[in-house]
Each structure stands twice: as C-alpha cells, then as structure tokens.
Amino acid sequence: MEFEVLEQSGATVVALTGELDSNTADEAQKRLMAIVEAGTRRLVLDFAALDFVTSAGLRVLLLTTKRLRALGGELRVCHPNEAVSEVFGISGFDTLLRVFPSRDAALAAP
C-alpha cells in the first residue's frame, strides 16, 4: 500500500493506493494514528486508487474514526470504487462514515 499525504483546504488528505487488508492494516493504522496525534482534526481518505478493503481495513477506519471523534475531529472518505462501496454498505460503514464522490466534495462539505 502506498500513502500520499498532503494538506488541502484546511484538511489532511491521505490518498491510498493498493489494498487495505490484513497485510497492510497494521502499517496503515500506525500511519493514520501518527497523523491524528500530530494534530490533524479533518482527515480525508481518498480511495480513488484503493482496490479493495477487508474487515482488517474496516477496523483501521473504525479506530481512526473513534480517535478523531474523541478529539473533536472527523474522518471523511472520498472516491470509493464499487467494491469498496459494496463492503461499506454490507458492513454499515456507509452510515458510520461520511462518504463523498470526490475529494472536492469531501473538502467543501460543512
């Protein structure tokens, strides 16, 4: 998995490439928590190049969301492909996370 981190419109955007699964979940969790602990409160995960997510990846999203909310922040997801959207729907994550069709929409929403 590859991470591209940038600051945009007052948020930290992390573009993920590859797969968020049991092989990459621990590293993803460490990197995302480091970003949150460094002070980020608006985190946007761009899934445009994420192939799929498994239950291990969902755990990463849940833990990151909980930590951000405890600190008064928010996690947003954008550009999920059909497979990721389906996993979100089946697992109920589409009601837990704010999901947007584009990065611009995720950054512009109140």
pLDDT at 4: 97
Q: Provide the domain count of the chain.
A: 1
46-87 pLDDT, tens per residue?
999 999 999 999 999 999 999 999 999 999 999 999 999 999
Rg (CA), the chain: 12
Give start and end residues of each alpha helix (H) in the chain.
25-37, 55-70, 82-91, 93-96, 103-108
Domain span at 64: 2-108
The one-letter code for the residue type at 16 is L
Count Cα atoms within 13 angstroms, Cβ side, for 103: 18
- pLDDT band of residue 39 (cuts 50, 70, 90) is very high
pTM: 0.96
Q: Tell me, what CATH number does 94's domain have?
A: 3.30.750.24
